[in-house]
Each structure stands twice: as structure tokens, then as C-alpha cells.
Structure 1
Amino acid sequence: MRNSTLKSRFEDKFIPEPNSGCWIWTGAVWNTTGHVPRGKIVVGRKVQRLAYRVAYELYVGKIAKGLSVCHKCDNPICVNPSHLFLGTSADNMRDKVRKGRAKAGSGYNGKPRSDQITYNQGEANGRSQLTNNQAKLILTSSLPVSKLSEKYGVSRRVINSIKSRRSWKLLSSGDQTCDTRFALI
């Protein structure tokens, strides 16, 4: 395998998925804390690169400096070049917001901004672990954080973020629309 080309090594590391058309990366992945896994491949002498960027360069062409390779399919381990497109970081963030994958209530850099597209908030956010009703119950509960964490199957950090109003800001503690019939507390 020492004399194999990058393209042949690359093609040994994905499986076409017939339903979505994604080419699922089966090689090594980067899995940094807080991020989804992304495929990686060694190029040259020990240089690790993101597999989807290598896919774009192998099958489509050069990536201009400052551009990101974005996924139409929103599958970060997909390396199908027909699912990839070039865009700026801002384009990628707008795509993320348009598809409802953005963190609720935050700006691109984690701080609120008035000049950006509105993010899906609460349970409408694709990454939400709780319903609006559950978040309201947590906000008004007097149970310890550890108990709430166990009951709702989320981390203590999530509970603390709700209680301190860093997340789920769309809720008001005086909101009486909370349906307690299905409460876990």
C-alpha cells in the first residue's frame, strides 16, 4: 500500500449509502469535544487533512484560499463530491441557520447579534434535547440540579444553563402555559 495513490487510498475509505447518496467515510476521524466527527486522511508525509476537503480537490478541483467546503446533505462524514459546495464561513453559517441546525439564541461567535438571521429556538432547534414544556418545568423546579439532570437525561450543565437563563431565553419563569400533567417532578 506504500505506493498507492492518494485517490486509491481515499476510495478504499468510504462506502456509498444508496438511500441518501452519501459516501460515508469509514477511515479515521477527528472527534473533538463538542463537535461532530469528521473524516481525516493523511496526505503526503504525515499531514492530516479533512476527508471532505480532499474529496472536493480530488473530484472537483482546487479550493480557493478562504473558502470552506460545505455539505448540501448536512452529513459531516459524507465525502460525496456532488454533496459538497464551496462557500465562505458566512455562507456556511447562513446555510446552517436556514436548515435549523444553529444553536438557539446565539450569534455566529456565541454572542447575540442584531444583524443576523433569526435562529430556531427551543424545541424548534434541531439540536434541542428537551421540549419547551420540559425546559419550563426545569426553570420553575426546586429540585437539585443533579436530580433534574437524571430525570430529564441531560447534563447538569444543560440544567444550569436553563436555570441561569443562558439558554432557553424564550421562556419566562412567570409563563403559565407549562403543562404539568406530564411532568417528571
Structure 2
Amino acid sequence: MGRAKLTVSEKFNNRTERNFTTPLINGCHCLDWTGGYSGNGYGWVLDDDKKLKLAHRKHYELTCGSIPSGQLILHACDRRSCVEPSHLRTGTQRDNAADRKARPKKQLTDQQKEEIIKNESPINVIARMYSVSRMEIKLIKGE
């Protein structure tokens, strides 16, 4: 007898974690996806119809409704691991580029970089600890 399959809603309940180290945006800290990740730092979730979906897009659909055709889901927090509905909004590729250009890149101190190099936790855990991308952690670690 196998274990019961989780619905996609149950997966979000079981595979998210409130990140209190992130700033409040729209009254909420980031809600980090703790399930599987793509190589570029976005969460993946297997939908009820057995299709692999980006976690932030699926959570937007579950909590806010359908995504208009041709629209992206943008993060107000600029964190790919975040699925907090109040941090997500629809927008175009042009909106996304403008957001990216307008935000200053987070600068880690030399001490933080040394801590990251020594930290043996999984890459996604370290990235959440420092509120940076998985790619940033991999670059610091030389991977």
C-alpha cells in the first residue's frame, strides 16, 4: 500500500517556509518554496495533472487566479524562491527588465562570503539564509 499522493495545495502547505530574515513587503515576509528547484533558482512543483510547473506561477494561480496569456509573474521581493502571493504580480518582460534595472543588487560582505564558503548546507538553504540567488552562492563557492 503506497502513501497517499498530495494535492498541489497540500504540497504548498508542506513545502513552504516563512523567511523572517527578509524585509516586510506588502505586510509579509517572503514565503520560501522548500521543494525542488531548477538550476536557475526557481522552485518546481508537480501539478495535480502531473505537469511540472514553476512554483511561484502555480501558487499565484492557486491564490490569485489565472495568469493572463503572455504575462510573467514578477516578484516584488526579487527572490526566485518566494511564493508569497502578496509579493507576486503579473507583468510583461519589459516590466521585469525595468524592475531588475531599478533594484540595487544585494552586496554581501567579505565575512558573509567566507561564511558561505565554509557552510556545508545545501545551496538552496544557504541562498535563503542570505536572501540571494542560488547562482550567487554557487559563484561564491566556485561551483
TM-score grouping bracket, smaller chain normalisation: 0.5 to 0.7
**Aligned twin of 1:50:** 54
**Aligned twin of 1:24:** 32
Measured in 1, the distance between the counterparts of 2:87 and 2:7 equals 23
Deviation, structure 1 residue 89: 0.7
| Structural mapping, 1:71-82, within 5 Å | 71-82=75-86
Mapped pair 1:62 → 2:70: no
- Which string of whole-angstrom CA distances, capped at 9 and with x for unpartnered residues, describes residues 104-147 of structure 1? xxxxxxxxxxxxxxxxxxxxxx68xxxxxxxxxxxxxxxxxxxx
**Aligned twin of 2:11:** 9
| Structural mapping, 1:88-127, within 5 Å | 88-101=92-105
Return the TM-score normalized by structure 1. Answer: 0.50
Measured in 1, the distance between the counterparts of 2:4 and 2:67 equals 27
| Structural mapping, 1:142-157, within 5 Å | none
* Larger RCO, structures 1/2 (Cα 8 Å, 6+ apart): 2
TM superposition outliers: structure 1 runs of 4+ over 4 Å:
none
Return 5+ residue gaps in structure 2 as ranges: 23-28, 108-139
Deviation, structure 1 residue 4: 3.3
SS at match of 2:45: strand
Q: Give the number of the structure whose alpha-carbon radius of gyration is greater.
A: 1
- Which string of whole-angstrom CA distances, capped at 9 and with x for unpartnered residues, describes residues 38-87 of structure 1? 10000134311000001101111110010000000011001101111110
From 40, 46, 52, give the equivalent of 2:44.
Answer: 40
The count of aligned residue pairs is: 103
1 or 2, which has the higher helix percentage?
2
Return the TM-score normalized by structure 2. Answer: 0.64
Q: Which amino acid aligns with 2:12?
A: F
SS at match of 2:43: strand
